Amino acid sequence: MDTNSNKIIKAGLLAYGMSGKVFHAPFFQAHSGFDLKAVVERNHKNAVNDYPAIISYNSVDELLNDEEIELVVINTPNNLHYEHAKAALDKRKHILVEKPFTATTAKAKELFELADSVGKQIFFYQNRRWDSDFVAVQKVIESGKLGKLVEVHLRYDRYRNVIGPKVFKETPVEASGLLYDLGPHLLDQVISLFGKPLNYHKILGKNREGTLVDDYFSIQLTYPDSLHVFVTSSMLVVNPQPGFVLHGVKGSFIKQRTDIQEEQLLGGMKLTDSGYGIEPANKEGVLTTIDANGKKSEERIPSEVGSYLPLFEAVYQAIANNQPYPVTRADVLTQIEIIESPATT
């Protein structure tokens, strides 16, 4: 198949806070197929300090009315994702939407229908599929060294015992709370590995003094062949547990959550700098296997260099060459269905 490797896709960001500055702009700059033309900054005009040629629009409408922009990143607050995604599709733009895509499956399906009607594509920014630690987990599973999986745990913990300043995360508006914030990351990783579960059970908790939204969740997902997967997140974990714990009939794999890209980019590191995406020393995953004679063997599994650039390459190939994007609509609908379902509190 012929590929259009010379196409330049002009892109725009709807915000230039932490996500725009860290998770999007550096990767558009690093990919030769994109031109980050514009950003929306309502108050402080900071983007020009990092990208002197960029246009800073005062409103979402101004950016969406820029006819040169083909791809719009929806990186606004969670409760505005649906509104802004719909507005961008109405303006005949492809969209890359941060998690959570929408608050409900009904709104997701509505956007899918709109995208199809205008001939544009929707991409889901599920960057944690490209975390170095998660890629290490994938490779261990694919190696078969664990044998049939029995039990899998994924955790994403923090310690923040005060109510944060972001209203859209901390007040009971649409898509607020920890489940909508970190649930999409953990569930997408599980779904990318194992697909849609047979069933699931979800627990939510509110533990911080004065919280109006959930700050704890735990979900048990059941898969065929007696595989049980647990995803857990809490904002009150002083001593973080391993991010990944896998048990199979032939062994176990324990891995800390070690992807360092966010920390490095926040610190000003460039994608081209030496050491970018390399996990800290002595953070390798530990694979312990047992043979037919009951003898245990231990192997340390280092992560490969982390990079979110393959996500942007996948977006580029989908627009330029109509290649399939790895995060599917079905994946996202399964994720949202679980998140919006009733829970025990």
Give the tens place of pLDDT for each residue, 311-345. 999 999 999 999 999 999 999 999 999 999 998 76
Whole-angstrom distance, CA of residue 289 vs CA of residue 251: 4
pLDDT at residue 117 tops 60 = yes
pLDDT of amino acid 79: 96
What are residue 190's phi and psi, to 5 degrees? -65, -45
pLDDT of amino acid 345: 65
Parse the chain into domains and list their residue ranges. Answer: 9-125+310-327, 128-307
Type of residue at 237: V
Chosen CATH of 9-125+310-327 out of 3.40.50.720, 3.30.70.520, 3.20.20.80, 3.40.50.300? 3.40.50.720
Per-residue DSSP letter, 170? H
What are residue 325's phi and psi, to 5 degrees? -85, 135
Give the tens place of pLDDT for each residue, 15-65. 999 999 999 999 999 999 999 999 999 989 999 999 999 999 999 999 999
User: What average pLDDT does the segment 127-154 reach?
Assistant: 97
pTM: 0.95
pLDDT of amino acid 1: 34
Average pLDDT over all residues of the chain: 95
Element (H, E) at 182: helix 178-194
Whole-angstrom distance, CA of residue 219 vs CA of residue 230: 6
Peptide bond before residue 326 is cis, with ω within 30 degrees of 0: no
128-307, CATH topology level: Dihydrodipicolinate Reductase; domain 2 (3.30.360)
- Going by pLDDT thresholds of 50, 70 and 90, the confidence category of residue 166 is confident
Report residue 282 CA to chain centroid gap.
Answer: 25
3-state DSSP assignment of residue 64:
helix
The pLDDT > 70 percentage for the chain reads: 98
Do 9-125+310-327 and 128-307 have matching folds? no
pLDDT of amino acid 344: 75
3-state DSSP assignment of residue 218:
strand
Please list the residues that pair with 9 across neighbouring strands.
34
- Ramachandran region of residue 229, left (φ > 0), alpha (ψ -120 to 50) or beta? beta
pLDDT of amino acid 338: 98
Secondary structure of 286-322 in HEC code, one letter for each residue: EEEEECCCCCEEEEEECCCCCCCHHHHHHHHHHHHHC
Q: β-strands 216-223, 199-205: how paired?
A: antiparallel
pLDDT of amino acid 167: 84
